[in-house]
């Protein structure tokens, strides 16, 4: 089986794209080889590894084109996309096996996610799914957002990521959730990784 390309994209900033890339990398590396591409000119993931030497991510340097990605030996490549279309971004989306659109449980995020989904539908043949991120327990807004997305035909992953300090810490210090031993976070990340793998088969 060749390399599977996952792009993490949403037209809105702050929805958890870079966090999702980072967490998925920790989850996937337990069972498959993973490489990451920082395609965002803001260079969030790259700068984190530069600021903090203990922040280890399998970032690939100088790989940005589908033709280069196709030659890689890793099983899964995950791309951290910017919140807008830059040069080469559409090529990456088109070459993806799956686009994950993180979305916070808020109506503004839902609207941005619907627009992102429409853009992907209009411009590619690729399957795109929404990942609810920063979900808080005992709030009704998550269900409202789910309903808005469903009404607009946006596919939703069953797995979701909660609003957790451990995720914010992971993105700040490179704390590997699996090594930090946070049971709830590990459980939801495992579920997410499993579900994504079923989309790639």
Q: Considering only 12-20, 49-57, 127-135, 147-155, which stretch makes contact with Mg ion by CB under 5 A? A: 12-20
Strands 4-8 and 98-103: parallel
When asked if residue 96 is in the footprint of Mg ion (CB under 5 A), the reply is no
Give the contact letters, 143-162, x = binds to ligand ADP (CB under 6 A), - = no.
Answer: ------------------x-
H or E segment and range at residue 166: helix 165-173
Give the contact letters, 28-67, x = binds to Mg ion (CB under 5 A), - = no.
Answer: ----------------x-----------------------
Partner from ligand ADP, Mg ion, none contacting 168, C-beta within 5 to 8 A by type:
ligand ADP
- CB half-sphere exposure, 8, CA atoms < 13 A: 30
When asked if residue 163 is in the footprint of ligand ADP (CB under 6 A), the reply is yes
When asked if residue 25 is in the footprint of ligand ADP (CB under 6 A), the reply is no
Q: Distances in Å between the alpha carbon of 178 and those of 63, 80, 181, 188, 190?
A: 28, 21, 5, 11, 10
Give the contact letters, 107-146, x = binds to ligand ADP (CB under 6 A), - = no.
Answer: --------------------------xx------------
- CB half-sphere exposure, 24, CA atoms < 13 A: 32
Nearer to Mg ion, 22 or 146 (CB): 22
Nearer to Mg ion, 45 or 95 (CB): 45
Taking every pair of Cα atoms in the chain, the longest distance, rounded to a whole number of angstroms, is: 46
Shortest Å, Cβ 74 to ligand ADP = 22
CB 38 within 8 A of CB 77: no
Spatial separation of the C-alpha atoms in residues 154 and 37, rounded to whole Å: 25
Alpha helix (H) residue ranges in 14-140: 17-28, 44-51, 66-69, 89-95, 107-123
Binding-site ranges for Mg ion (CB under 5 A): 17-18, 44
Binding-site ranges for ligand ADP (CB under 6 A): 13-19, 44, 133-134, 161, 163-164, 167-168, 171
């Amino acid at each position: 089986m060749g390399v599977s390309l996952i792009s993490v994209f949403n037209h809105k900033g702050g929805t958890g794209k870079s966090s999702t890339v980072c967490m998925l990398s920790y989850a996937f590396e337990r069972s498959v080889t993973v490489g990451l591409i920082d395609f965002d000119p803001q260079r969030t993931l790259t700068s984190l590894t530069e600021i903090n030497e203990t922040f280890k991510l399998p970032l690939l340097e100088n790989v940005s084109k589908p033709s280069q990605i196709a030659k890689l030996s890793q099983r899964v490549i995950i791309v951290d996309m910017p919140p807008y279309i830059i040069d080469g971004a559409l090529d990456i989306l088109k070459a993806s096996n799956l686009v994950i659109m993180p979305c916070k449980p808020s109506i503004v995020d839902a609207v941005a996610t619907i627009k992102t989904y429409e853009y992907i539908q209009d411009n590619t043949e690729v399957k795109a799914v929404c990942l609810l991120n920063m979900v808080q327990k005992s709030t009704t807004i998550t269900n409202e957002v789910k309903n808005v997305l469903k009404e607009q035909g946006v596919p939703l992953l069953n797995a979701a990521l909660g609003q957790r300090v451990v995720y914010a810490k992971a993105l700040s210090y490179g704390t590997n959730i699996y090594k930090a031993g946070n049971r709830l976070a590990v459980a939801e990340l495992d579920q997410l990784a499993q579900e994504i793998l079923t989309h790639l088969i």
